Amino acid sequence: MGDGKFSTRAAVLWSTIPKQARERILANVFCVKCGDSVPIINFTGEERDGDVCLKGLCAKCGLEVVRVVETSETDSSGN
């Protein structure tokens, strides 16, 4: 889809996350300026301690936002 630039390891980890969960993550990144969950745009992904660290911009105000996705927890559906 070309919607993000990932390092090789981050891409592998990211691919283990169900598509639906990935879309939800990308649409709900907390922005301190907006004080709300916002879509992340122009993001990149890097592997960090076995998790995926997403860095990008708030779709609403353009502030840099970061989200660490704990891939080790994605096999439980949670609430």
* Unique residue bearing structure tokens 């559906």: 77
Among 58, 67, 69, 71, binds Zn ion (CB under 5 A): 58
Whole-number Å distance between alpha carbons of 22 and 17: 6
**34 interacts with Zn ion by CB under 5 A:** yes
> Which of 42, 45, 49 minimizes the C-alpha distance to 67?
45
**66 interacts with Zn ion by CB under 5 A:** no
**Between residues 18 and 33, which has the closer beta carbon with respect to Zn ion?**
33
Among 31, 52, 54, 69, binds Zn ion (CB under 5 A): 31
**5 interacts with Zn ion by CB under 5 A:** no
Cβ atoms within 10 Å, residue 36: 11
